[in-house]
């Protein structure tokens, strides 16, 4: 099953994808995680995109499309994947149709107030990328990830100014994908306000998965 996880920043795409990847036996591909790994490694890609990402803006389409095109050419994603954070513009969605056929697009719906609450408390593991939350899902040991022992940090783009920018960018450039995919009959809406396990159950039902 080839899935796209769509939704505003902080909707829970990464958190849900980390669980759904095992449930659906579908590799999780997060463009945000790929960019953050490149930034941490100070690779040419990382150096190129750091300032744009920290400011809450989008990396340009050509760079992002090429990255995903290369990733989707690998053998492990021939029959299934979860694309988290791609496509994010109509141009990216159009490009995707030239190298892969998506089965379903999940639109994780949450109001801005929930986004702000979630992003202002997010802690991310530097090693495995797991998304913790200071109040909703804190790691047992302060500052360390329960999953892998890595240290946790606050994303530069989770600062209030960058979150504001990301929400604007989402509305202008990404939200039009909702109607784009709905008109193609590919969209499933999921309420992303409840607890993670409830959202996952609703997702399984919507995809008719046991």
Give the binding range for ligand AP5 (CB under 6 A) out of 11-19, 20-28, 95-103, 178-186: 11-19
**Residue 36 designated active-site:** no
Structure tokens at 179: 């109607």
- CB under 5 to 8 A by kind: which of Mg ion, ligand AP5, none does 28 bind? none
Q: To 5 degrees, how large is the angle CA 71–CA 77–CA 83?
A: 70
Which region among 74-82, 132-140, 145-153, 178-186 touches ligand AP5 (by CB under 6 A)?
A: 132-140
Assigned token pair, 114: 């929930």
Q: Which of 9, 102, 139, 200 binds ligand AP5 (CB under 6 A)?
A: 9
Q: If binding is defined by CB under 6 A, does position 131 make contact with ligand AP5?
A: yes
Picked from Mg ion, ligand AP5, none, the partner binding residue 199 (CB below 5 to 8 A depending on kind) is ligand AP5
Using CB under 6 A as the binding rule, whether residue 139 contacts ligand AP5 is answered as: no
Could you confirm whether 122 is annotated as catalytic? yes
In the complex with ligand AP5, the residue whose CB is nearer, 79 or 154, is: 154
- CA distances to 31, 68, 114, 189 from 108, rounded to whole Å, are 17, 21, 12, 6
**58 sits near ligand AP5 (criterion: CB under 6 A):** yes
CA-based nearest residue to 149, from 122, 121, 125, 132: 125
User: Which residue of the set 155, 164, 205, 208 is catalytic?
Assistant: 155
Residue nearer to ligand AP5 on the CB measure, 135 or 183: 135
Active site residue 171: no
Q: What is the DSSP code (8-state) at residue 170?
A: I
In angstroms, the CA 131 to CA 134 distance is: 10
DSSP 33-84: HHHHHHHHHT-HHHHHHHHHHHTTPPPPHHHHHHHHHHHTTSGGGSS-EEEE
**Do 29 and 84 touch, CB atoms closer than 8 A?**
yes
Footprint on this chain of ligand AP5 (rule: CB under 6 A) = 7, 9-15, 30-32, 35, 52-53, 56-59, 64, 85-86, 88, 92, 118, 121-122, 131-133, 136-137, 157, 166, 195-196, 199
């Amino acid at each position: 099953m080839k899935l796209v996880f769509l939704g505003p920043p902080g909707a829970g795409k990464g958190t849900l994808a980390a669980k759904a990847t095992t449930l659906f036996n579908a590799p999780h591909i997060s463009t945000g995680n790929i960019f953050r790994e490149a930034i941490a490694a100070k690779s040419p890609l990382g150096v190129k995109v750091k300032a744009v990402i920290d400011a809450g803006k989008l990396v340009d389409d050509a760079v992002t499309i090429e990255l995903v095109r290369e990733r989707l050419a690998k053998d492990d994603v021939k029959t299934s994947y979860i694309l988290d954070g791609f496509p994010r513009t109509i141009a990216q969605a159009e490009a995707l149709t030239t190298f892969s056929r998506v089965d379903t697009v999940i639109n994780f719906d949450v109001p801005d107030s929930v986004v702000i609450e979630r992003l202002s408390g997010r802690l991310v593991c530097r090693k495995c990328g797991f998304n913790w939350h200071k109040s909703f899902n804190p790691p047992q040991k302060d500052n360390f990830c329960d999953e892998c022992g890595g240290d946790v940090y606050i994303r530069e783009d989770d600062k209030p100014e960058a979150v504001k920018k990301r929400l604007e960018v989402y509305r202008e450039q990404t939200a039009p994908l909702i109607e784009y995919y709905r008109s193609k009959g590919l969209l499933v809406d999921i309420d992303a306000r409840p607890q993670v396990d409830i959202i996952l159950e609703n997702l399984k039902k919507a995809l008719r998965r046991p």
